[in-house]
Structure 1
Amino acid sequence: MAAENPTMTLNAKYDDYDFPTTAPEGRPGHPGHLTSEQQAQVDQLRLLLEAEGYTDRLDTLTLLRFLRARKFDVNLSKKMFVDCETWRKETKLDETVPIWDYPEKEALFKYYPQYYHKTDKDGRPVYIEQMGGIDLTAMYKITTADRMLTNLAVEYERLSDPRLPACSRKAGSLLETCCTIMDLKGVGITKVPQVYSYVKQASAMSQNYYPERLGRMYLINAPWGFSGVWGAVKGWLDPVTVEKIHILGSGYQKELLAQVPAENLPKSIGGTCECEGGCAFSNAGPWQDAQWTRPAKWEKKAGAAAATTAPKEAAAGESVPVTAAEDAPAAAPAPAAA
């Protein structure tokens, strides 16, 4: 049942959004559709976190995702948020994202393509994984498990910003989730232990540290006997997440194309798109379109930090420090509210 008098109060200190902030569907607890009690729980969670010294990621949309993930239990949401911040600090994620380089990507994609590619019919980013070629023994000669998981985390950060804000601007309403396609073609019984091991770690990261980011998931080309593996995987996931997942066999095209336009779907999985250089490497989507994209907050922050230490040539040939205010790029004008 939708909230009576749906509303959402933004916080002037933390909510500096330049994209729509109202969810397209009036589901309770989603942005723009809060009860007065849910709004109070957002404020309470923020106050508790501020009291413990947290200052980052206290914006309303982020706090709402953690609250929804814990059914608006403020104490459980606080624990989830704190655990996430602890993980971010331990992995030095905020320092890693602006400087992350993954030169082994092309070699790894021969075994395990993982990429964002255009959007579904709801305007959400489409994320694709093709798991049939996974060979962890060969892959670990190219990279490490830690680097693979770090790259996954970096891509989640880039999903949060700039991908989803760009999609929201184009759609004219807030989009917070993605459409995931996992192609299981070629995943035979001998590969199940390797796939199981990695997916378990990746699923834990997604569920624990990036809540409420899954809109729909399609598992296509599910092999015979997959139901047993799926029974184990479901045990790691929240029941709400399980409801978003569709298990499809080799005849998946009709259902998948009902959600993703053929021109947005790579030809390798039943669509018509053939990006120059390969869809897996194109990163095509609204986040590449100057009309919709803006510099990510982590880019601005990294640029401002660099500007405070960058030398600036003085008239006499001496160098002096440049302040962030002098060198930071001007903010792009915000689009009209949704």
Structure 2
Amino acid sequence: MRLSPTESSSTRPAATPVHPENEDWTCFEQTASLDIKSFFGFESTVEKIAMKQYAGSIKKGKEIIEFYLKELEDEGITHVARWSPSSQTSAHPPPLITSSATAATVSTATDAKDGACGETKAETSLVLQTESLLEMLTGTPEDKLDADYIKRYLGDLTPLQESCLIRLRKWLQETHKGKIPKDEHILRFLRARDFNIDKAREILCQSLTWRKQHQVDYLLETWSSPQVLQDFYTGGWHHHDRDGRPLYILRLGHMDTKGLVRALGEESLLRHVLSINEEGLRRCEENTKVFGRPISCWTCLVDLEGLNMRHLWRPGVKALLRIIEVVEANYPETLGRLLILRAPRVFPVLWTLVSPFIDENTRKKFLIYAGNDYQGPGGLVDYIDKEIIPDFLGGECMCEVPEGGLVPKSMYRTPEELENEDVRLWTETIYQSSSIFKGAPHEIVIEIIDASSVITWDFDVCKGDVVFNIYHSKRAPQPPRKDPLGAHGITSPGGNNVQLIDKSWTLGQDYSMVESPLTCKEGESVQGSHITRWPGFYILQWKFHSMPACSATNLPEWTTSWPRCKFPLTSVKSCTTRRSWDLQTSERLAAMCEV
């Protein structure tokens, strides 16, 4: 494999060219060529890896350019003269840089007094800026965290890092209407982006939306490992390392990755790995209490004895890469150290495939030992107490991690069965599922017997925008007839879409709106309540948020296909106390809208 940068044109001069469409713009170009001869049948995977690395390089170059442009702006530089070869320049070339300071005219004698006054104002402004910076670093009593709390649960933080944590937490409290993560969780995302608040906020919000969409907060209570995983998944928790971090052992060389993928499917393996990460977070909290100091990450020991070319089965590698990508995006800075033992000759091939998908800060935590090198000085005993080293690594501690083995082919499933199982895993949860289309909302009805009852709602918008309405009717809406083709002649993906308001009903006569329409944006958690004024039937409606006609006319033709929305819904429970009828969801109500 060869990846080499090339010039876009052999005749182009060495200087950065002028943009062809505007002479006042500078054109930056970057190209590359990729020539893959042979790579063990993974040519397409390697190509994707190279493209990802190349895209990252372009993004990094753009960030560097924008950084220095910002530096010029901060210095007041407004113009940079066009570069010309030295042979064409005169003995006294014009100044290359023009700033607001150099562009100013020289003050006359009559302006001297005003100039002195301006200097005084500038000095005062500088003093105020300095005081503002010191205040941000040191913090006010209301904005500072308790020193004992930091030392006990968060670890050493500089004043600037503490300020970043407080500011990001306040932003979440003001804008995020759902569950606010703990300081430890927020701190992991800040550390993963070197305390750049904007970058940390972006990946944190994406992760919070992902957790709602896939109900990760409930994973430890709802996920039960299939028997196949209990028998053949060669991983498990084993005491802790010398730093008090929970220790997870994975005997990857003894794992039948092909058998597990063929017997369970990719989603089951992903969910199992997510449950391991959630368990790791829980164990970190427990160890923080036990050892009396902050423990925010765990140690993973990977034994590669037995790893060979059969582990490079393409669907298995694909599943591994997806798992790494999901974990990297949603569990940053949770791995304290990764010890790779007994790496065989085939390991460099696997490492070449997976390393580009691992964050650079995470790769720095990898320690790789070939053969029995881990038994000598600087080996395993430097990180794990001798008395808890597993017996299969030369220690005396009995380890309960399964030894694995080949999964019987009788347990393999067909591709159709695995696809159905993947769908079932994400729908048979504490939520119910529904799908909505443009012009086909999802509705539920609540019967109110006494006036002055309270209806409450709590739902999450995971993707897209929806409009939430509440209507009242004196007569009960009739359940819709089952139409195998759906309201628009196409099958509903969710299968639980319900429309209760009859098309013959007239708004204002047969039913009325009791709340103003509420537009719910993507990523929002929406809570609210309504006090009923009359008995009867109240219809809660979620419908697709259509764009204005003026915007839709300029869209490409493919956007006219049916919008699809999914609503994982919870059941509605009621509780009667005298004349009060309290209706509320038993769990969170999530909504996802895809176009």
Q: Same fold (TM over 0.5)?
A: yes
Q: What CA deviation, in whole Å up to 9, does each residue of 1:222-255 have, x standing for no partner? A: 1114224323422122222111101111212330
Q: Which amino acid aligns with 2:382?
A: A
Q: Which amino acid aligns with 2:284?
A: L
Alignment of 1:1-338 (within 5 A): 9-10=144-145, 22=151, 31-104=154-227, 107-108=228-229, 110-161=231-282, 163-193=283-313, 196-251=317-372, 252-254=374-376, 255-274=379-398, 278-280=400-402
- Counterpart contact for 1:20–1:168, Cα < 8 Å: no
- Counterpart contact for 1:10–1:60, Cα < 8 Å: no
**Distance apart, 1:218 and its partner CA:** 0.9
**Distance apart, 1:164 and its partner CA:** 1.0
Task: Give the Cα–Cα distance (whole angstroms) in 2 for the partners of residues 155 and 236 of structure 1.
Answer: 20
What SS does structure 2 have at the residue aligned with 1:211? Answer: coil
Task: Give the Cα–Cα distance (whole angstroms) in 2 for the partners of residues 205 and 218 of structure 1.
Answer: 21
- Counterpart contact for 1:181–1:218, Cα < 8 Å: yes
Task: Give the Cα–Cα distance (whole angstroms) in 1 for the partners of residues 402 and 288 of structure 2.
Answer: 23
Task: Give the Cα–Cα distance (whole angstroms) in 1 for the partners of residues 319 and 387 of structure 2.
Answer: 31
Identity among equivalent pairs (%): 25
Task: Give the Cα–Cα distance (whole angstroms) in 2 for the partners of residues 260 and 48 of structure 1.
Answer: 40
Q: What CA deviation, in whole Å up to 9, does each residue of 1:115-150 have, x standing for no partner? A: 111011111111111112333442245422212211
Task: Give the Cα–Cα distance (whole angstroms) in 2 for the partners of residues 67 and 114 of structure 1.
Answer: 30
- Structure 2 length-normalised TM: 0.41
Q: Which amino acid aligns with 1:165?
A: E
- Counterpart contact for 2:258–2:311, Cα < 8 Å: no
Task: Give the Cα–Cα distance (whole angstroms) in 1 for the partners of residues 367 and 352 of structure 2.
Answer: 13
What SS does structure 2 have at the residue aligned with 1:191? Answer: helix
- Structure 1 length-normalised TM: 0.69
What SS does structure 2 have at the residue aligned with 1:22? Answer: helix
**Distance apart, 1:36 and its partner CA:** 2.3
Task: Give the Cα–Cα distance (whole angstroms) in 2 for the partners of residues 202 and 279 of structure 1.
Answer: 21
Task: Give the Cα–Cα distance (whole angstroms) in 1 for the partners of residues 285 and 218 of structure 2.
Answer: 21
Q: Which amino acid aligns with 2:235?
A: Q
Task: Give the Cα–Cα distance (whole angstroms) in 2 for the partners of residues 119 and 36 of structure 1.
Answer: 31
Q: Which amino acid aligns with 1:49?
A: L
What SS does structure 2 have at the residue aligned with 1:180? Answer: strand
**Distance apart, 1:184 and its partner CA:** 1.2
Contiguous gaps of at least 5 residues in structure 1 = 12-18, 24-29, 282-308, 312-320, 322-338
Which has the bigger relative contact order, CA under 8 A and spacing at least 6? 1
**Distance apart, 1:44 and its partner CA:** 1.9
- Counterpart contact for 1:20–1:172, Cα < 8 Å: no
What SS does structure 2 have at the residue aligned with 1:123? Answer: coil
What SS does structure 2 have at the residue aligned with 1:216? Answer: strand
Q: What CA deviation, in whole Å up to 9, does each residue of 1:26-77 have, x standing for no partner? A: xxxx934222222221122123323332442433222111101011111111
What SS does structure 2 have at the residue aligned with 1:58? Answer: coil
Q: Which has the higher helix share?
A: 1
Against the structure 1 CA distance between its residues 108 and 99, is the aligned structure 2 distance closer, same or farther, given a 3 Å change threshold?
closer
- Counterpart contact for 2:173–2:180, Cα < 8 Å: no
Q: Which amino acid aligns with 1:168?
A: T
- Counterpart contact for 2:191–2:333, Cα < 8 Å: yes
Q: What CA deviation, in whole Å up to 9, does each residue of 1:171-224 have, x standing for no partner? A: 221111111111111111232245533332222222110111111111111111
What SS does structure 2 have at the residue aligned with 1:235? Answer: helix
**Distance apart, 1:170 and its partner CA:** 2.4
Task: Give the Cα–Cα distance (whole angstroms) in 2 for the partners of residues 101 and 113 of structure 1.
Answer: 17
Q: Which amino acid aligns with 2:366?
A: I
- Counterpart contact for 1:116–1:127, Cα < 8 Å: yes
Task: Give the Cα–Cα distance (whole angstroms) in 1 for the partners of residues 162 and 324 of structure 2.
Answer: 29
Structure index of larger Rg: 2
Task: Give the Cα–Cα distance (whole angstroms) in 2 for the partners of residues 134 and 97 of structure 1.
Answer: 23
- Counterpart contact for 1:110–1:133, Cα < 8 Å: no
- Counterpart contact for 1:127–1:179, Cα < 8 Å: yes
- Counterpart contact for 1:112–1:133, Cα < 8 Å: no
User: Could you say what the CA RMSD is over the residues aligned between the two structures, in angstroms?
Assistant: 3.1
Q: Which amino acid aligns with 2:342?
A: N
Task: Give the Cα–Cα distance (whole angstroms) in 1 for the partners of residues 232 and 401 of structure 2.
Answer: 15
- Counterpart contact for 2:233–2:402, Cα < 8 Å: no
What SS does structure 2 have at the residue aligned with 1:87? Answer: helix
Contiguous gaps of at least 5 residues in structure 2 = 1-136, 404-572, 576-581, 583-595
Task: Give the Cα–Cα distance (whole angstroms) in 2 for the partners of residues 173 and 280 of structure 1.
Answer: 32
Q: Which has the higher strand share?
A: 2
Task: Give the Cα–Cα distance (whole angstroms) in 1 for the partners of residues 292 and 275 of structure 2.
Answer: 26
